[in-house]
Structure 1
Amino acid sequence: MKKQYLIWDLPLRLFHWGFATTLLLLWLTAELGTDYIDWHIKLGYIILVLTSFRIFWGVVGPKHARFSQFMPSPSAVINYLKSHKSVDAKVYAGHNPIGSIMVLLMLLLVLLQASSGLFVDDEVFSSGPYFNAAGASVDKIMRIIHLNTFDFILAAIALHITAIIFYKKVKKQNLAKAMLTGKKDAEKLSAEDEISGSRLGLALIVLALCVGFVYWLVVINPPPMEEFFY
């Protein structure tokens, strides 16, 4: 049996699969229409919690989760694209430069999508907590963003899945399995690449802070809704 190193911590793996599942459910509830709008809104709050958690975990989590470890430079991206087909190409324990761009892009797109949803209504029964808070012109812009950004998210997901298939078939690296088990084969890695643990206690504290932040954002902070009587 091949020796393996622990690369992806458990909180990061739980985030990854929870993030993917929540995006799928958000798409499904949007497609099903207004009967599922309340679920769609609640899932939007969940994706805000998850995205907030990933941003904080990118600062305080184990090394391969940290943005400082995989923030790509233009030269790193160019060198990776030039050498990735070579048998001697560098093997990254964490995210490679292209994967790093995908992580950052996905977080940015989802944060934009979820934030814009706070200003949108369904023109029937439900509305985001900040609808009408900044004026009709802001609501209009946010609605346009919310209705169109998910197309870019779907494109990013398609690229991500294509990359997973490419790495599995061509480079013989099972990225999906690594994100399930947290481990990668040690053949082209070193003991220094392995993380010592998942920091579960810290992850629970960060998650609690993120839940508290989103609760404040969508329940406590929004201005009171205007009531209309007919």
Structure 2
Amino acid sequence: MPARRVKTWDIGVRLTHWTVAGIVAWNLFGPTDQVHRVLGYVAAGLVGFRVVWGFVGTQYARFEAWWPTLPHLVDYLGSLGRGRPMHHLSHNPLGGLMAIALWLLILALAASGWLMRLDAFWGEDWPHDIHTYLSTALEICVCAHIVGAIVMSVWTRDNLILAMLTGFKRNPGGDSGTDR
């Protein structure tokens, strides 16, 4: 039976993803000015929206569709080890872990950026140091996320980047699909 395309990523997920991606790129490589600060808070707000959407959003946006539990991680890693990655209509367990890591880093960056601006920490280096370490961690995770999406797109022949643009993923089972 031929694979059919299934709508997996709703407009809220896609707009949040690409807007946060743009903000992160700007804030990692652009000037650290007032725009940087405002965009950092906007990114944190969008992450907050995405967390809420993980409870009340569409089927594949919900955490229940992709939360990376230990048994799912073990099964998925086993499938990778066998050279036949399990297909997931939503995030695979490693992608889910990365999403959580990215969100936590963005929220922590917003918090550390806010701390840097407080009078109580004027002249203190540690808020800035923490912000710098978190920024470096975010850069590493973003690179790993991009490489992972490209590698898995090639390996599985399921263009994950295009799916995050169009909202549609391939469903090799041909049915309406469940994620697990």
Structure 1: gaps of 5 or more residues: 31-35, 121-127, 195-230
- State whether residues 93 and 189 of structure 1, in contact with CA within 8 Å, keep that contact through their aligned partners in structure 2: no
Give the 5 Å matches for 1:144-223: 144-188=129-173, 190-193=175-178
Greater Cα radius of gyration, structure 1 or 2 = 1
Q: How many residues align?
A: 178
Equivalent residue letter for 2:130: I
Task: Note if 1:143 corresponds to 2:128.
Answer: yes
* Runs of 4+ deviating beyond 6 Å: none
Partner of 1:50: 46
TM superposition shift of 1:186 = 2.7
Structural RMSD (CA) = 2.3
Residue of 109, 112, 119 corresponding to 2:105 = 109
- State whether residues 171 and 177 of structure 2, in contact with CA within 8 Å, keep that contact through their aligned partners in structure 1: no
- State whether residues 3 and 173 of structure 2, in contact with CA within 8 Å, keep that contact through their aligned partners in structure 1: no
Partner of 2:75: 79
Distance 2:153 2:69 in 1: 26
- State whether residues 54 and 63 of structure 2, in contact with CA within 8 Å, keep that contact through their aligned partners in structure 1: yes
| TM-score, normalising length: structure 2 | 0.88
SS in 2 for 1:185: strand
Task: Note if 1:98 corresponds to 2:94.
Answer: yes
Distance 2:33 2:16 in 1: 24
Structure 2: gaps of 5 or more residues: none
- State whether residues 58 and 66 of structure 1, in contact with CA within 8 Å, keep that contact through their aligned partners in structure 2: yes
TM superposition shift of 1:83 = 1.1
TM superposition shift of 1:43 = 1.1
| TM-score, normalising length: structure 1 | 0.70
Partner of 1:226: none
SS in 2 for 1:119: helix
Distance 1:153 1:12 in 2: 20
Distance 2:97 2:85 in 1: 19
SS in 2 for 1:184: strand
Equivalent residue letter for 2:106: V
- Counting aligned pairs with the same residue, the percent is 28
SS in 1 for 2:6: strand
Task: Note if 1:22 corresponds to 2:20.
Answer: no
